[in-house]
Amino acid sequence: MARVILGVGAGIAAYKACELLRLLTEAGHRVRVIPTPDALRFVGEPTWAALSGEPVTTDVWSGVDQVPHVRLGQTADLVLIAPATADVLARAAAGMASDLLTAALLTARCPVLYAPAMHTEMWEHPATQHNVSVLRARGAIVVDPAVGRLTGPDTGRGRLPEPAELFALAEQMLSSGTDRGASVPAVRASSGGGPGAGRLSRRRVLISAGGTREELDPVRFLGNWSTGRQGYAFARAAVARGADVTVVAANVELPDPAGVTVIRVVSARDMHAAMLAQADAADAVVMTAAVADFRPVTRADAKIKKDGRAPQPIALTENPDILADLVARRAARPPDGPHQVIVGFAAETDPGLDAARDKLARKGCDLLVVNPVGNGQGFGTSDNEALVFGRDGSRTTIARQSKDALADVVLELVEARLNLVT
DSSP for 129-144? Answer: HHHHHHHHHTT-EEPP
Question: Considering only CA atoms, which of 177, 169, 283 is closest in space to residue 237?
Answer: 169
Same topology between domain 3-175 and domain 204-419: yes
Q: Answer yes or no: is pLDDT of 25 > 60.
A: yes
Which residue did the predictor score with more confidence, 140 or 185? 140
Q: Where are the beta strands (DSSP E) in 60-154?
A: 78-84, 112-116, 141-142, 146-149
Higher pLDDT among residues 85 and 312, named by residue: 85
User: For 163-172, how does the pLDDT look when each residue is reduced to its tens digit (9 = 90+)?
Assistant: 999 999 999 9
CATH architecture designation of domain 3-175: 3-Layer(aba) Sandwich (3.40)
Confidence (pLDDT) at 375: 65
Share of the chain above pLDDT 70, in %: 91
pLDDT(207) > 60: yes
Question: Which of the pair, 137 or 310, is modelled with greater confidence?
Answer: 137
Q: What is the C-alpha separation between 324 and 13, in angstroms, rounded?
A: 44
Q: Is 224 a catalytic residue?
A: yes
pLDDT of 256 higher than 80: yes
Residues whose CB falls within 8 Å of the CB of residue 216, separated by 6 or more in sequence, listed in order: 222, 296, 299, 300, 304, 314
Q: How many CB atoms lie within 10 A of CB 184?
A: 18
Strands (DSSP E) contained in 223-270 are 244-250, 261-265
How confident is the model at residue 353, as a pLDDT? 77
Can you give the residue ranges of every domain in the chain? 3-175, 204-419
What is the DSSP code string of 302-329? S-----SSPPPP--EEEPP-HHHHHHHH
For residues 133-142, average pLDDT:
94
The confidence score (pLDDT) of residue 192 equals 44
Average pLDDT over residues 231-257: 96
> Is residue 237 scored above 70 in pLDDT?
yes
Q: What is the pLDDT of residues 31-80, one digit of tens each?
A: 999 999 999 999 999 999 999 999 999 987 677 656 667 888 899 999 99
Q: Are 110 and 78 in contact (CB under 8 A)?
A: yes
Counting residues of the chain whose pLDDT is more than 90, the rounded percentage is 76
Kindly report the average pLDDT of the chain as a whole number.
90
Instruction: Read off the pLDDT of residues 310-337 as tens digits, 9 standing for 90 and up.
Output: 778 899 999 999 999 999 999 998 887 7
Among the listed residues 131, 224, 251, 384, the single catalytic one is 224
Query: Residue 153 pLDDT more than 50?
Result: yes
For the chain, the farthest-separated pair of C-alpha atoms sits apart, in whole angstroms, at 87
The enclosing H or E element of 274 equals: helix 268-279
Cα gap 398→392, rounded to integer Å: 18
Beta bridge partners of 377: 374
| pLDDT (0 to 100) of residue 67 | 60
Q: With contact defined as beta carbons under 8 Å apart, do 89 and 144 qualify?
A: no
Give the separation between CA 283 and CA 303, rounded to whole angstroms.
43
Fold for 204-419, please state it: Rossmann fold (3.40.50)
Please enumerate in sequence order all residues whose Cβ is within 8 A of that of 65, keeping only pairs 6 or more positions apart, or say none: none
* pLDDT for 184: 32
Query: How many residues in the chain?
Result: 422
Of residues 129, 409, 367, the one with CA closest to residue 241: 409
R_g (Cα) of the chain, nearest Å: 23
